[in-house]
């Protein structure tokens, strides 16, 4: 039994252990005769009365036999209650984003004294499946929903009505039971990634500009007290000092790590249809919104940097709460993905007098639609403070078919203003990435732009 939706472009990942909100069992009321049985019994009773009054035994017998069977069935109707509950389905972690649908699974358990159960499922107010199942004993029904959205959402809502033997009696409909979960954003494989202007830490996966150990060759220098003997380059020593009056050692670059801060602008959650931007009409369920794209983009970058050994943090421009401090490891990725899934617009955001504080020398990645000046101004301030800033445009590809002339004009004016805003960011040395147009290639170009010398992304 499934609740169908159009197939999405990118699948999310469902992890139900993040919100263990399995619905408790709900019991139905008493059993009553079915309407068809009541009407048929009344008709048979009329036939019996007419046959008796008209002295027609054939007519009376014609109505007496069904009436006796109906009374016998009603006396044997069930007396217990129908129990309905949701259980979580198997956890799925589908990272393939090339066309397969994201699936949310749960199990509907129906248990009651009747032989049949009429099950009606809905999802977010839209009709789903309406089936009659054989329910002798506990019956487990798989419920599958397909979605392109991320964050808290409903898997399915079920209404169940028990049906007695031969359909003679029915139970009162059970109260609706709902299964909800948190859909975590999926990740996209990325290639090379840009690095901050200045690397930090005493060790890490990247080669820095300061002298140390673990990196590439820095230079060859005469031996001084403190140099290790195993670093002596005997070939250079033999060439420059054949009499061994002076020893030469090889010096290397130190290894360091990058600190990346992902900043999500949760103030806007718009879909590809501009008519839904006013908020009076909700975006279609099969359309991924800008916030869905921002979650996926941030989760993809977080996974790529963390797998490379860097430290990643998370902040939100839409709300004022404690950010996720930079950290590393698998747990940090799980924490960032769960925080991203719970990120959502929360009323009218307060104006910021100054941008959030960031670690020194961090790479800042801002995910926004840039429909207003707030996020662009914050990104420009971070760039003026010396950070390397990458602005990721997460606005979906717009669908302009069906718009009125005045709506097209308003959209055109908004697009021109937004393009001017993005051009100003580029003039202020903020690097731009459009997530809907091959982001992996653009990020790789930004990464190679600063790899012309040792210590990628670090000025001399």
Q: What is the pTM of this model?
A: 0.74
Which regions of 151-287 does DSSP assign to beta strands (E)?
151-163, 169-171, 177-184, 206-222, 248-256, 259-264
CA distance 258 to 275: 42
Q: What is the pLDDT of residue 18?
A: 41
Average pLDDT over the chain, rounded to an integer: 79
Torsion over CA: 6, 267, 381, 301 (sign): negative
State yes or no: pLDDT of 252 exceeds 80: no
CA distance 335 to 18: 11
Q: What is the pLDDT of residue 101?
A: 44
Structure tokens at 182: 């948190």
Q: pLDDT tens for residues 36-49?
A: 677 777 777 777 77
| 3-state secondary structure at position 131 | strand
CA distance to 46, 247, 313, 352, per residue, from 214 (Å):
99, 21, 26, 43
- In the chain, how many H helices and how many E strands? 8, 20
CA angle 302/151/101 to nearest 5° reads: 85
Beta bridge partners of 14: 92, 183
Contact 269, 345 (CB under 8 A): yes
Contact 301, 340 (CB under 8 A): no
User: Is the CATH code 3.40.50 the one for domain 259-449?
Assistant: yes
Q: pLDDT tens for residues 87-120?
A: 865 544 333 323 334 788 888 998 878 778 889 9
In this prediction, what percent of the chain has a pLDDT beyond 90? 24
Taking residue 184's Cβ as centre, other Cβ atoms within 10 Å add up to 23
Q: Which CATH topology does 2-29+81-183 take? A: Immunoglobulin-like (2.60.40)
Give the pLDDT band (50/70/90) at residue 428.
very high
CA distance to 34, 38, 40, per residue, from 166 (Å):
10, 14, 14
Mean pLDDT of all residues in 199-213: 57
CA distance 207 to 455: 5
CA distance to 227, 246, 312, per residue, from 211 (Å):
12, 21, 25
More confident residue, 261 or 358: 261
Give the pLDDT band (50/70/90) at residue 32.
confident
Contact 51, 61 (CB under 8 A): yes
Q: What is the pLDDT of residue 206?
A: 56
CA distance 102 to 94: 8
Q: What is the pLDDT of residue 196?
A: 85
Indicate the range of 201-205, 316-320, 362-366, 425-429 predicted with least confidence: 201-205
CA distance 381 to 361: 14
Name every residue whose Cβ is closer than 8 Å to that of residue 314 and which is 6 or more positions away in sequence. Answer: 261, 262, 263, 264, 298, 302, 323, 324, 336, 339, 340
CA distance 444 to 438: 10
Q: pLDDT tens for residues 297-317?
A: 999 999 999 988 888 999 998
Give the pLDDT band (50/70/90) at residue 414.
very high
Q: Where are the domains of the chain?
A: 2-29+81-183, 32-78, 208-256, 259-449
């Amino acid at each position: 039994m499934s609740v169908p939706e159009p197939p999405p472009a990118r699948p999310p990942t469902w992890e139900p252990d993040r919100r263990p909100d399995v619905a408790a069992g709900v019991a139905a009321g008493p059993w009553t005769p079915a309407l068809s049985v009541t009407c048929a019994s009344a008709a048979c009773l009329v036939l019996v009365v007419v046959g008796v009054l008209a002295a027609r035994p054939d007519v009376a017998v014609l109505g007496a036999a069904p009436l006796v069977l109906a009374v016998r069935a009603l006396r044997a109707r069930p007396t217990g209650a129908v129990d309905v509950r949701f259980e979580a389905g198997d956890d799925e972690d589908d990272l393939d984003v090339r066309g397969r649908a994201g699936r949310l699974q749960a199990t509907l358990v129906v248990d009651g004294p009747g032989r049949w159960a009429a099950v009606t499922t809905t999802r977010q107010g839209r009709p789903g499946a309406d089936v009659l199942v054989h329910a002798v004993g506990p019956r487990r029904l798989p419920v599958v929903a397909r979605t392109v959205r991320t964050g808290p959402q409903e898997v399915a809502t079920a209404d169940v009505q028990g049906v007695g033997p031969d359909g003679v009696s029915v139970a009162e409909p059970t109260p609706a039971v709902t299964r909800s979960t948190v859909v975590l954003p999926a990740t996209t494989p990325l290639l090379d990634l840009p690095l901050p202007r200045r690397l930090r830490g005493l060790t890490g996966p990247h080669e820095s500009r300061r002298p140390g150990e673990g990196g590439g060759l820095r230079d060859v220098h005469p031996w001084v007290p403190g140099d290790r003997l195993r670093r002596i380059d005997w070939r250079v020593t033999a060439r420059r000092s054949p009499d061994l009056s002076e020893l030469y050692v090889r010096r290397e670059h130190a290894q360091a790590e990058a600190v990346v801060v992902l900043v999500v602008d949760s103030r806007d959650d718009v879909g590809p249809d501009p008519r839904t931007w006013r908020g009076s009409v909700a975006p279609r369920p099969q359309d991924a919104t800008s916030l869905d794209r921002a979650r996926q983009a941030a989760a993809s970058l977080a996974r790529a940097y963390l797998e490379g050994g860097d430290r990643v943090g998370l902040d939100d421009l839409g709300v004022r709460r404690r950010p996720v401090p930079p950290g590393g490891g698998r747990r940090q990725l799980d924490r960032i993905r769960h925080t991203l899934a719970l990120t959502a617009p929360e009323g009218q955001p307060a104006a910021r007098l100054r941008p959030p504080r960031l670690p020194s020398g961090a790479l800042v990645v801002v995910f926004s639609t840039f429909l207003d000046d707030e996020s662009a101004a914050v990104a420009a301030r971070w760039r003026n403070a010396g950070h390397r800033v990458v602005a990721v445009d997460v606005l979906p590809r717009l669908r302009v078919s069906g718009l009125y002339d005045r709506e097209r004009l308003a959209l055109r004016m908004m697009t021109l203003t937004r393009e001017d805003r993005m051009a100003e960011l580029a003039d202020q040395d903020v690097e731009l990435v459009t997530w809907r147009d091959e982001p992996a290639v653009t990020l790789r170009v930004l990464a190679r732009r600063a790899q012309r010398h040792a210590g990628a992304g670090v000025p001399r």
